[in-house]
């Protein structure tokens, strides 16, 4: 595809705009708090859009439509579970975490919060949680790299390796330059582009498939099981799909958005904005994959790229159904989903290395300027590791996301929830929960028993470990329970 092609021009304009926002954010990044959390000054709308965009990575426009295209409406149980989990996260976690992290020595990262929440003088919580972040985010970042490479490979007809480096360049640049503010501001633009694409695409797909009734009739004729919400699957399968919602409470890149809100009063409006955006986006992604079944059944000559890799269904539909300028916008929306999540993941990893290792152990007296520059260097390091993991062209986006999502959800989710609702929880309980959840995910992933998503046994093991170890040990110190009471008072009903 030439540089003068409309799709290419659209991509270049989009990436240039994101890099420009990164350089604009440079002016407002003066210290580590600015670089990691934007100085805790995000309003409701930006908080909501940034949380949504950082959550909905390339899997929203590639992995999810691809899964629905292959498995039918049954795969949309994932979307239902995610909606329920996201609402619980906004309602139970967001406000409390915003207040608690500020009370707990102005904690800037999740490991920092755990350390201050439990007065962990030995800093074992900081070390373990930072290691979990680095391990699972390396896999998560790789999923974004794979999605970007697939997009560039399919759009521009270049090799996978060239596509991998090309797609990662813009994201790495604006994160290195602008930090959290650049990530949050670009997230807002990217969230707008994503919802535009996911509202427009299904309408056009249905129209080209002959309308709603004709599309359903085509799918029924092709394979009636794709219209079945249960599709012959046992209960474990549905539980596994719904269990994706459990992961929200443990995702550091989403929790960081709650921590960055300008006040706890901004959370309720952010929740309303965020949930409406999320429901519309998930509905559009499911509809695109589902009605794509009908379109390609009616036009089998165009289906070869999708048959080769079902995760390219949205890309292929964008290219064949829209004029090149509109297709460029839709494909830019895929890039937006990829960049929005990848950028905040790189930043969270950088934050853990900078705040929790470099400042916490190696250079406690480091200046703010030194910490910011070290953080930028760590973005480059983590990006290089993720690119190395993503170098295998056989990688699948949804598989990588599912592993990392389960790892964070099981290792951190129960610890975050209990730390915000149960004053009797202890430091040892938190350590036990992280270990039990993380280890169970890894073991279950290798065994694949019952066909059950590893999130479920991992989450259950973490909850059991937290409660049992906390109750078996001595109660928390009065300073810990006093801080908890202050948090509950200030958080109110948010």
3-state secondary structure the chain: CCCCCHHHHHHHHHHHHHHHHHHHHHCCCCCHHHHHHCCCCECHHHHHHHHHHHHCCCHHHHHHHHHHHHHHHHHHHHHHHHHHHHHHHHHHHHHHHHHHHHHCCCCCCHHHHHHHHCCCCCCHHHHHHHHHHHHHHHHHHHHHHHHHHHHHHHHHCCCHHHHHHHHHHHHHHHHHHHHHHHHHHHHHHHHHHHHHHHHHHHHHHHHHCCCHHHHHHHHHHHCHHHHCCCCCCCHHHHHHHHHHHHHHHHCHHHHHHHHHECCHHHHHHHHHHHHHHHHHHHHHHHHHHHHHHHHHHHCHHHCHHHHHCHHHHHHHHHHHHCCHHHHHHHHHHHHHHHHHHHHHHHHHHHHHHHHHHHHHHHCCCCCHHHHHHHHHHHHHHHHHHHHHHHCCCCCCHHHHHHHHHHHHHHHCHHHHHHHHHCCCCCHHHHHHHHHHHHHHHHHHHHHCHHHCCCHHHHHHHHHHHHHHHHHHCCCCCHHHHHHHHHHHHHHCCC
Instruction: Report the pLDDT value the prediction gives residue 123, as an integer from 0 to 100.
Output: 86
pLDDT in tens, 372-387: 889 888 888 888 888 8
pLDDT of residue 232: 66
- pTM, two decimals, is 0.88
| pLDDT at residue number 63 | 84
pLDDT of residue 100: 96
Assess whether pLDDT exceeds 80 at residue 404: yes
Percent of the chain residues topping a pLDDT of 90: 48
User: How many other C-beta atoms are found inside a 10 Å radius of the C-beta of residue 203?
Assistant: 12
Residue 339: pLDDT band with limits 50, 70, 90:
confident
Query: What is the pLDDT of the chain when averaged over all its residues?
Result: 88
Joined tokens for residue 370? 């030194």
Measured distance CA(192)–CA(157) in Å, rounded = 27
Selected residue with higher pLDDT from 33 and 44: 44
- Residue 260 reports pLDDT greater than 70: yes
Distance of alpha carbon 297 from alpha carbon 299, whole angstroms? 6
CA atoms within 13 A on the CB side of 106: 8
Q: Can you give the residue ranges of every domain in the chain?
A: 6-400
Predicted pLDDT at 266: 92
Inter-helix orientation angle 160-208/124-156, to 10°: 70
Which of the listed CATH numbers 1.20.1730.10, 3.30.70.1450, 1.10.240.10, 3.40.50.1010 matches domain 6-400? 1.20.1730.10
Tens digit of pLDDT for each residue in 5-20? 788 888 888 888 888 8
pLDDT band at 270 (very low <50, low <70, confident <90, very high): very high
pLDDT over 90 at 402, yes or no = no
Banded model confidence at residue 317, pLDDT cuts 50, 70, 90: very high
pLDDT value at 428 more than 90: yes
More confident residue, 182 or 461: 461
36-95: pLDDT as tens digits: 777 787 789 888 888 888 888 777 888 899 999 999 999 999 999 999 999 999 999 999
pLDDT over 90 (residue 207): yes
pLDDT at 41: 76
Q: What average pLDDT does the segment 242-254 reach?
A: 92
pLDDT at site 187: 79
**Measured distance CA(364)–CA(310) in Å, rounded:** 49
Give the pLDDT of residue 235.
83
């Amino acid at each position: 595809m030439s540089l003068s092609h409309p799709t290419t021009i659209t991509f270049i304009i989009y990436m240039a705009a994101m890099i420009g926002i990164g350089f604009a954010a440079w002016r407002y990044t003066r210290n580590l708090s600015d670089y990691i959390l934007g100085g805790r000054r995000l309003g409701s709308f930006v908080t909501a859009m940034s949380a949504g965009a950082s959550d909905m990575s390339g899997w929203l426009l590639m992995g999810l439509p691809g899964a629905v295209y292959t498995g039918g409406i049954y795969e949309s149980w994932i979307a239902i579970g995610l909606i329920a989990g996201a609402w619980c996260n906004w309602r139970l976690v967001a406000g409390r975490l915003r207040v608690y992290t500020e009370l707990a020595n102005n904690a800037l990262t999740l490991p920092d919060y755990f350390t201050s929440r439990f007065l962990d003088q030995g800093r074992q919580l900081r070390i373990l949680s930072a290691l979990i972040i680095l391990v699972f985010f390396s896999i998560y970042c790789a999923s974004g790299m794979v999605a970007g490479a697939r997009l560039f490979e399919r759009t521009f007809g270049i090799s996978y390796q060239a596509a991998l480096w090309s797609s990662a360049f813009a994201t790495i640049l604006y994160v290195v330059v602008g930090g959290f503010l650049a990530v949050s501001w670009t997230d807002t633009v990217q969230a707008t582009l994503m919802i535009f694409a996911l509202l427009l695409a299904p309408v056009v797909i249905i129209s080209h498939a002959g309308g709603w009734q004709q599309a359903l009739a085509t799918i029924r004729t092709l394979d009636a099981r794709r219209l079945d919400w249960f599709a012959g699957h046992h209960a474990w399968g549905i539980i596994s799909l719904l269990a994706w919602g459990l992961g929200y409470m443990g995702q550091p890149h989403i929790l960081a958005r709650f921590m960055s809100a300008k006040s706890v009063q901004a959370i309720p409006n952010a929740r309303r904005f965020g949930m409406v955006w999320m429901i519309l986006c998930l509905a559009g992604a499911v509809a695109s994959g589902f009605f794509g079944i009908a379109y390609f059944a009616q036009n089998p000559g165009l289906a070869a790229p999708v048959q080769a890799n079902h995760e390219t269904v949205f890309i292929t539909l964008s290219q064949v159904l829209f004029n090149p300028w509109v297709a460029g916008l839709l494909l830019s929306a895929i890039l937006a989903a990829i960049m929005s999540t990848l950028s905040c993941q790189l930043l969270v990893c950088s934050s853990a290395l900078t705040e929790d290792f470099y400042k916490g152990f190696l250079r406690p007296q480091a200046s703010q300027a030194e910490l910011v520059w070290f953080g930028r260097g760590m973005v480059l390091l983590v990006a290089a590791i993720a690119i190395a993991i993503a170098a295998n062209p056989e990688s699948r986006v949804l598989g990588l996301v599912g592993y990392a999502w389960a790892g964070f959800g099981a290792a951190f989710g129960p610890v975050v929830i209990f730390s915000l609702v149960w004053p009797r929880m202890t430091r040892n309980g938190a350590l036990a929960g992280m270990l039990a959840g993380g280890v169970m995910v890894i073991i279950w992933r290798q065994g694949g028993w019952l066909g059950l998503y590893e999130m479920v046994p991992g989450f259950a093991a973490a909850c059991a470990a937290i409660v049992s170890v906390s109750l078996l040990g001595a109660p928390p110190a009065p300073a810990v329970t006093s801080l908890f009471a202050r948090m509950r008072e200030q958080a109110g009903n948010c």
